[in-house]
Each structure stands twice: as structure tokens, then as C-alpha cells.
Structure 1
Amino acid sequence: MRVFSVLLLLVISASCAFAQLDRKEKAMVGWIDEHNGEAVELLKELININSGTMNFEGVRQVADALIPKFKALGMEAEFLDGSAFNRAGHLVARIRGGKGPNILMIGHLDTVFEPDSPFQQWTQVDDQTIKGPGIADMKGGDVVILQTLSALNNAGLLKDMNIWVVMTGDEELSGRPLNLSKAELIKAAEWADVALGFENGDGNYKTANVARRSSSGWKLEVTGVPSHSSQIFKPNIGAGAIYEASRILYQFYEELSKEEYLTFNPGNIVGGTSISYDDKTNSGTAFGKTNVVAESAIVNGDIRCISEEQYKRAQQVMKRIVSEHLPQTEATITFNEGYPPFAPTDGNYELLKQFSQVSQDLGFGEVSPVNPADAGAADISFAAFGIQMGLDGLGMGGTQGHTVNEAGDMRTLPMQTKRAAILMYRLLKGN
């Protein structure tokens, strides 16, 4: 009797939620369910194409599988060559129907699994779970984008909408220079009012990203006076390069480690009498004897911030600390280009509120914001400067991304598609 009561409550709850949908929304939900098998087959096809970032042919193959499907929806679609920034390139698709806001949809074609990875194929774990390279990060999200647009097209809505899809080919390992690598995203952001990112966020369908921290690099270079170790700390010899490097790192920790959402990690350090470091391989060599004061040290690290203001403030503090040298030492710090922050704006929270209402109307429950400390950088950050509102993490749910155990939750493929399609329809209507 108790089990029957619980099931009855669930049926009533789902029916009440579905009643909140209008005729077109119900039609889209039905279409997505009817065509989910096709979406699964497409996802399997994409998963089984290796598209590690540096496998240019594989990245292009994924684009080639998707472009005809965008064109079948009446969209302009093409592949933009990426040789100028040493990557395969990007897929772009557009439709300009003239009604509603300008919406940018962001995905990426590449994965972290290159052709020499042992992880290459779609593998069914159970009825709900599939293992596969890039299934959650983010070929599942790419399929959500296509299915969302297909549902809107079937409802007769897409032809009136303004949509610009950018699926980059180098999200996992950005080409350089970044101003060329991300040029299409930046151009689309200048045009867009709304940006929707279909990364998998934290993998939980109950959350979405209103913010992502930045990701960029820094290099600390230190010099000291070489001498016999018996002379260290004397006025004309001073502390040496390694002591100076350690002082700087400790003061970074002391002054900045407690600030919310700010992290800075020294990933490697090389120090001694003679050193070398290769930025391309992230490796170095050092020679130094215990009875010699170290002449040189290099530290390489990353820094992540929630806003441009926090980044500039952290830079100022770090530069000041670096300038306060120990005796007879010199040090400089340089900051490298990287992903900017996707800051948590009022517009982003408003869009999350609308998305959460859609989810509730579908019977999927509320959606809450991901803690920015739990999410990495993503391409939507390059759109943050130009949009009124944005939301990321709308892709397929999954776990253990960037590992050979990456898995996707197949229940979330139609779920995320329904939520995105209805959100975009309501944005078109202006409510």
C-alpha cells in the first residue's frame, strides 16, 4: 500500500509539472523522447572517432559528422581552418531569423584522449551508464546542442531564431596565440545577448554554472650571486636564488591563500648553479652542488580568479612581494595569457532562475549554481565580456572526466535537451 502511494504521488507530481508546459513545449518534449535513439546513435558515432586536440584529422571528422545535420536544419555551417593557431579548427553554424535574442551556443569537438590513449571506444556499463572518451566532456553536450535545435526546428521555431553555434577544436589544449584561437568565440560574443555553454559542469544535472574561474600562468625567475656555500648570507653574497624563490612563494601563501575563489599553484621549480627549462615540454634540468650558493631558480605556476578585478588585485600583490628582494638577489614575475573569468553577474543568476523554472515545469526539480571553486575554465569565459547573461554546464551529466574511466549518464541526454529547448523557446517568447 505504501509503495502504491509513493508511485501515485510521483505520477501526480509529474502530471502537475507537465501541465505547466504549453502546446509547443509538450510537442518538443515528445519529439525529443521519440528521437532519443537517434541521438544515442550519433553520440556513439562521435565517441568512436578519436578527436584528441592534436589529432587534427579526428577533430575534423567529428565536425564532418555534424555539419550536414546543422545544414539539414536550414543553418549555415562550415569548418574554419585552425592552421593560424596550430590546431584543427572550429565548427560554426548560424541561423538569423530576426526574432528574439541573439543566442550563442558553445561546444567543443576535441577531447584530452589522443590516438595513443588506451581509452578509445564506447562501452556500455549498464542501462544508464556508458564509458567513452569525451562522452561527458563534451561530445554528449554537442549532441544536446544538435538535438535542441532539431526539436526547435520540428516545432517550427528555429527559422525565426537568431542562433550562432561555435564548437571549438581546441578547448582542451588551446592554440596560440589566443586572440586567433578564440577569435570566432569573441566575434560571436560581441553579437550575442545570451551565451549557453554545453560543457558538463560538475556532472550533476541538478546544477549549472553561473561562473567559472579564470585559468592562466605565471613564471617567476630569480637570480643570486654564486659563491662557495661558506660565504652565504655575507653582505656581498646574500641569500642565493633558491632562498629568494622560497621567500616569495611563502609570502604568496601567507598573503593570498585565504582569499575566496583565488588559487595559485607553483607546479614546478628548478634551481641551482646552472638550469634550463623547456616551456613546451614543461620540463627542466638543474645542476648544483651542496657547497655552492644557487645562482638561478625558475618557478612555473597557474592562477585562477573569479573576476578580472580579483586577478588584477592578485597580480599587484604578487608583483609587490617579488620586488622585496632578499640581499643580493633579483626576481621578476611574468603573467601569461589564458582563459579569462566568467564572473557571476546578475544576468547569469536571472538566466539560472529561468532555467530552474523550466526544469521544475518539466518535473526535474530545481537547479542550483555550481560552486566556482569546483569547476574548471571553459570556452564560455571568452564570451563573458559581451553578453547580457550566460549559463554553462548544460551538457550531458557524467563522472571522472579526463580519465580512462570517464562515463556518461544516459538519462541526462534527453533531460538536458528538453531543458535547453524549452529555455530557448521561452527566451524567444520573451518570458
Structure 2
Amino acid sequence: MTGRGLIASSLALVLVASAAIAASPPRRDARVWSAAQQARTGQLALLEKAVNIDSGTGDVDGGAKVIALLRPELEALGMTVRTEKAEAEGLADNVVATLKGTGKGRILMIGHLDTVFEVGAAAKRPYRTDAARAYGPGVGDEKGGVIEAIYALKILRDLGFTNYAQITLLIESSEERGSPGTRKLIDQLLKDADVELNLEPGDPPDLITVWRKGSATYFIDVKGRPAHAGVAPQDGRNAATELLHQLEGAEGFPKTGDQLTVNLTILNAGSRVNIIPEDASAGLNARGRTKAQLQSVEDKLNENAKITAVPDTKVTIRQLAAFPPLADNPDTAALAERAKAIYAGIGMTLGAGGNGGASESALAYEAGVPAIDGLGPVGGKFHSEEEYIELGSVTPRLYLLTKLIMELGPNPPKPASVR
């Protein structure tokens, strides 16, 4: 069967499953719902402790403190817990926790403990709540999802549920930089997984994530020649001026939208006010729905680099580690239907969408492992001082994750996509 025919067949199965759900509405699992309600106080208390620990990407000490907080929780569940050194310098350790069961499904959950915030952010803006929301650095992206996973495992233990072959929870430490410290580890874990459940936050009003843009950060580096800015500026070759020329050439890319976007995020030039800048650099963050879109950015920047406006300057383009896109695909669509049915059982409607925030689910997709994303609490304003989660989503999302595991343990998905 061709790839196009296989996708059409898979989508047809999704429609059949949806029709079956409509004919026989799902029911709430009273035991799981009650357990999720009872977990709320402890879940939020542990989240508060985690949020109040700084753990920005590259904060090795902060990452170790978060691990020290969470490791006893995982070990108390009977999990085999190990730390894995980061695969790049200057990053905190990663944690891999595993449970063995009696069923068929091998379930991999992935979350990250690193945030985008600097040391001191937690002291400046500690965890707090109002009537509707919880706030704090990393409360949604993604400590809320990590804590949710731990409490889902607590519920499974308390209910005596073991109908899965294996559950693995990876808590990694460098997702906010494209997971440079975890790529080999993720690849290894995916080889022993039937499905990947990602703990990134859900989007308002109550969405799971079925597609994500890929990300790539490109740096434009310019080498010029220094000179005294007052005595002999003509002897210099201004790297900053050339960088502005290069940035002007990149202005044609869109800055917002559901397709390709390219935005200037870092800009550096010069060392002293009285010296013609010898070095200048800019970082451009690109997000695209396809690899071809991202490649078009790199191609354009390299083409621009061949033409300089300031003589005797040299322009080079380099790229940081990045995530590929999580494309629309029938495997994720089928998982989304399962999730929607679970939510319907508690009288709630679960939506499905996508966004420009890249994640590890794209790596699962690339490896041919069915993946679904955005299973953490619903939130917003990520990467800002106003980051929050909706408190009303905490219990429903815990129920959703727990029930997904309970369904996938005895009945793991069979990948339909051909990539």
C-alpha cells in the first residue's frame, strides 16, 4: 500500500473509532476520578516546592536540587531510578525512572525540569495562586506536567494497576535548548517504547497538542577589523554595520503565523564605545511546519553571507541543536481520539491543536513511535513573568493521563504511519 493510501486507511479507522464512541458514550472511571480529586492537595504542594527551585537550562546545582526533591517520590513508587549524565557540558543530569508490569504496552513519558529563567527568578517570583491560577517560573513549562506524571503513577500504584509491560519516565534537563544533553538517551529509550506521552502543558481553553513546529536557531557571525573610533575609524571594518546588512537581508521571512516564522532573539556587537567593532553576532529563531521550511532559512542566510556591504568582513552561519517538526499524522490523531473519549467520560470536551513550541514528541515521531503532546495542565504566558496554569485543569488532566496509561498498557497503539 502506498504511503498516501495507508494514511487514508488510518484516518478511516479514526473515523470509525469516533463513530463507535458516539454510539456508546464513555463513562467516568469513578475510582480514578476520586483518586485524582484526592491527589490535588499533595500534587499542588509538590509543584510549589519544585517551582520554588531555580532550574534554568545550564543551572547544574538547581537541576540537582529538583532531582533531589523528586527522586524519593519516584523510589517510593517502587520505580528503578537512575541518573544519566548530560551529553553536553554545563547541563544538569537527567533522570530515568522505570516500572515493570504484567501487560503488553511499553509507555514512555517525557518531561523536562529545566526552565528559561535565570538564577534568582524563584526568589523574586515564588509560586503563588489566586482563585483560578497558579503562577511561578516553570509552573507550566514544564514542572506542572512532571508532577502530574508522578501523581498519575501514584494513582496506578494505589489502585494496584500493573497491566503494562513497562512505564518509563524521563525527566530531562535541556529541552529548552533543543535537548543537546539528552538526544542519545531519548533515541535509546524510544527503541524500547510503543508510545510516547509528552508532559508539555495544554493550550487554552483545553487542548492537547497534535502538531508542533520544528525549531532551529541560526547565528549570523561577522568578523571585521578593530580600529580607534576617533583617531582612525577608516582603518576598521565595522562588524556591527555588516551584521545590520545581513539582518536586512533576512527581513523577508514572516514573524508570526502557523507556518514558517523567523525572529531575531539575540544581538551582540562591539566591546568598547571607542573601538570599531571587530565582532558581531545575531541569533535568529526559526519555527516551521516542515523540514523544508527550516532548510529554506538556512539556505537564504548562507546565500546572503556571500555578499557583504562592508569590505573585508567575513560572515559565517552556524546552527544550534534543534527539534524537527511533529507533523499531522494518523498515529497522533488516533491517540487524540482516545484522549477525547476519556475526557468525554467526565463530561468535558477536549480540543486538539498545535503551536510553535517544539518538543521531544517530534523525536518520537521521527523514530516511528506514536506520540501525543500537551498532556500537562492547561496554561499560558510561557517563558514570561506571567506564566501560569489553570487550577481547574489540574484534576481533569491528571485523570486524563492516568486513564491513557491504563488504556495503552493492555492495548498499545500499532504504528500506522510510514515515514
TM-score band, normalised by shorter chain: 0.7 to 0.9
Aligned partner of 2:4 in structure 1 is: none
Is the 8 Å Cα contact of residues 103 and 162 (structure 2) preserved in structure 1?
Answer: no
Aligned partner of 2:13 in structure 1 is: none
Aligned partner of 2:347 in structure 1 is: 363
Distance in 2 (CA, whole Å) between partners of 1:257 and 1:138 is 25
Distance of aligned partners of 1:84 and 1:249 in 2 relative to their CA distance in 1, 3 Å threshold:
closer
Aligned partner of 2:417 in structure 1 is: none
Deviation at 1:365, TM superposition (A): 0.4
Aligned partner of 2:66 in structure 1 is: 62
Aligned partner of 2:184 in structure 1 is: 183
Gaps of 5+ in 2: 1-20, 228-234, 414-419
Is the 8 Å Cα contact of residues 26 and 344 (structure 2) preserved in structure 1?
Answer: no
Distance in 2 (CA, whole Å) between partners of 1:295 and 1:401 is 36
Distance in 1 (CA, whole Å) between partners of 2:90 and 2:406 is 38
Mapping for residues 213-362 of structure 1, pairs under 5 Å: 213-221=214-222, 245-254=243-252, 261-268=259-266, 275=270, 298-324=281-307, 331-346=314-329, 347-362=331-346
Q: Secondary structure at the match of 1:49?
A: coil
Instruction: Give the partner amino acid of 1:348.
Output: T
Aligned partner of 2:136 in structure 1 is: 132
Deviation at 1:93, TM superposition (A): 0.5
Question: TM-score when scaled to structure 2?
Answer: 0.77
Aligned partner of 1:9 in structure 2 is: none
Match of 2:126 among 121, 138, 141: 121
Distance in 2 (CA, whole Å) between partners of 1:35 and 1:298 is 49
Aligned partner of 1:411 in structure 2 is: 392
Mapping for residues 80-159 of structure 1, pairs under 5 Å: 80-82=84-86, 85-97=89-101, 99-117=103-121, 118-126=123-131, 128-158=132-162
Distance in 1 (CA, whole Å) between partners of 2:205 and 2:93 is 30
Greater radius of gyration (CA):
1
Q: Secondary structure at the match of 1:130?
A: strand
Aligned partner of 1:49 in structure 2 is: 53
Deviation at 1:33, TM superposition (A): 1.7
Aligned partner of 1:197 in structure 2 is: 198
Is the 8 Å Cα contact of residues 214 and 307 (structure 1) preserved in structure 2?
Answer: no
Distance of aligned partners of 1:424 and 1:121 in 2 relative to their CA distance in 1, 3 Å threshold:
same
Instruction: Give the partner amino acid of 1:263.
Output: T
Distance of aligned partners of 1:62 and 1:330 in 2 relative to their CA distance in 1, 3 Å threshold:
closer
Distance of aligned partners of 1:204 and 1:339 in 2 relative to their CA distance in 1, 3 Å threshold:
farther
Question: TM-score when scaled to structure 1?
Answer: 0.75
Aligned partner of 2:15 in structure 1 is: none
Deviation at 1:62, TM superposition (A): 2.2
Distance of aligned partners of 1:265 and 1:354 in 2 relative to their CA distance in 1, 3 Å threshold:
same
Gaps of 5+ in 1: 1-15, 227-236, 276-283
Deviation at 1:330, TM superposition (A): 5.9
Deviation at 1:138, TM superposition (A): 1.9
Distance in 2 (CA, whole Å) between partners of 1:114 and 1:401 is 14
Aligned partner of 1:394 in structure 2 is: 375
C-alpha RMSD of the superposition = 3.7
Distance in 1 (CA, whole Å) between partners of 2:257 and 2:134 is 39
Deviations 1:256-281 (A, max 9, x none): 7799622223345567xxx5xxxxxx
Aligned partner of 2:407 in structure 1 is: 426
Aligned partner of 2:166 in structure 1 is: 162
Distance of aligned partners of 1:27 and 1:55 in 2 relative to their CA distance in 1, 3 Å threshold:
same
Deviation at 1:44, TM superposition (A): 2.6
Distance in 1 (CA, whole Å) between partners of 2:389 and 2:310 is 56
Determine what percentage of the aligned residue pairs are the same residue: 21
Distance of aligned partners of 1:399 and 1:160 in 2 relative to their CA distance in 1, 3 Å threshold:
closer
Instruction: Give the partner amino acid of 2:294.
Output: Y
Is the 8 Å Cα contact of residues 195 and 387 (structure 1) preserved in structure 2?
Answer: no
Distance of aligned partners of 1:304 and 1:335 in 2 relative to their CA distance in 1, 3 Å threshold:
farther
Distance in 2 (CA, whole Å) between partners of 1:259 and 1:139 is 27
